[in-house]
Structure 1
Amino acid sequence: MQGIKNIIFDLGGIILNIDYQRTIQAFHDLGFTNFQNLYSQFQMADLFDQFETGKVTPDQFLDALQAQAPENVTREQLKSAWNALLLDFPLARLQLLQQLRNHYNLYLLSNTNALHHEAFTQKLQETRGLPSLGLFFDKAYFSHEIGLRKPFAEAYQLVLDAHGLRPEETLFIDDSLPNITGAEAVGIRTLHLPGPKTILEVFRPQS
């Protein structure tokens, strides 16, 4: 951490626990016998990328799912299945962020979408009594709001430029190797943190 003044955190897998298999299983339980194939088709059509960069609205995204859904599956069921991967915010990680704010400028840069954003914000409110992740950061950036997503250089550069951050004084933490590579391309120092490792093992409690 020598020379580091700023830390940019990823969200899913770093602060928020997630499990993609739960969403796959939830769609299977709704009668989607080919959800993996459907997911691949949506990827090929750039639907997920467009949803994550705000170019597709939640209604348009749900319409695309509904068109492929078995008969009698409701939109609420589709939303629930889509959000099933979102698990919990471990209290110790949130407490660590509070401690780190005394020593560093903290930012969040997350690839997400409007449906997930609404769901994990509600989860934070219901489980921790907190209205927003923004409480833990100088600024939180979500791909569907800024129209940019990792690992493209423009997403990282937006954060650097908005706050006048020097990349060599900035650490980016993510569980995805492509996202790490993207940050390194603009000169940001990085920490690849794939599961089961957590930020609690990286940072000792600071007084």
Structure 2
Amino acid sequence: MQNIKNIIFDYGNVIFDIDFKIAQASFQKLGITDIETFFAHKAHNQLFDDFETGTISPAEFRAGIRKAANKPDLTDEQIDEAWNSLLIGTIQENHDLLLKVKDKYRTFLLSNNNEIHYNWIINYLKTTFEINDYDNYFEKAYFSQHMKLRKPNTNIFEQVLKENNLNPAETLFIDDSPQHIEGAKKVGLQTLLMIEKPAQLESFLKANGII
């Protein structure tokens, strides 16, 4: 990589393990049949985009799941459990690694997220690692539901660059989604597509000359 001074990390399947197949199976158990068009890694129902940009509330999201499943009696707990089944976890070594990388670069987190997942993750970090949030691990952590924007749209990248006075040519974006990588390239960011598991993040960064 050439002249990298800043790194923007994705979260899911870069730092933190997620599994779309588990969530698909969970949604199918709720009664959703067209799962590959409803929710998958590369494409999904507009409901998820709306939730990730804070356009709809958790209650409205759950109502959308009930409608898709054609089961108006599904409880909030059933829906949240199915939705959160996507979230697997991370390892302490990745938190240590993030601090190491932060010593060398200006680092940022940029995650497509939503209120239900965000609350689960924060609770998980507190109970598993005694971490309250990611404020100490990045210069700033950005989440789509707070920004009202989401990847791969260029405006979310442009906002991070502008707010932090980052030169895109000196900034590396790491993500596991090809469509997000393409969005980042449109604003001039250097990019790396991560196909390894988060447990291999350190070796991935070493292999690409980042650390």
* TM, length-normalised to structure 2: 0.88
**Inter-partner Cα distance in structure 1 for 2:201 and 2:21:** 23
Verify the 8 A CA contact 1:99 1:206 in the aligned structure 2: no
Pairs aligned (count): 204
Give the match for residue 50 of structure 1. 50
1:26 is the counterpart of 2:30 = no
2:169 maps to amino acid: E
**Inter-partner Cα distance in structure 2 for 1:206 and 1:7:** 9
Give the match for residue 14 of structure 1. 14
CA 1:33–1:114 in structure 2 vs 1: closer, same or farther (change >3 Å)?
closer
**Inter-partner Cα distance in structure 2 for 1:177 and 1:145:** 23
Give the match for residue 170 of structure 2. 169
Deviation digits for residues 131-182 of structure 1 (CA, Å, limit 9, x no counterpart): 1122211111111110111111101010000010001110000011111111
Shift of 1:29: 3.5
Verify the 8 A CA contact 1:8 1:172 in the aligned structure 2: yes
Q: Which runs of 5+ in 1 are unaligned?
A: none
Verify the 8 A CA contact 2:13 2:197 in the aligned structure 1: no
Q: Which runs of 5+ in 2 are unaligned?
A: none
2:105 maps to amino acid: Y
Q: What does 1:93-108 align with in structure 2 at a 5 Å threshold?
A: 93-108=94-109
**Inter-partner Cα distance in structure 2 for 1:123 and 1:69:** 31
Verify the 8 A CA contact 1:7 1:170 in the aligned structure 2: yes
Identity of aligned residues (%): 35
Deviation digits for residues 116-139 of structure 1 (CA, Å, limit 9, x no counterpart): 111111111111110112221111
* TM, length-normalised to structure 1: 0.90
Deviation digits for residues 54-77 of structure 1 (CA, Å, limit 9, x no counterpart): 101111101122333546531111
Give the match for residue 159 of structure 2. 158
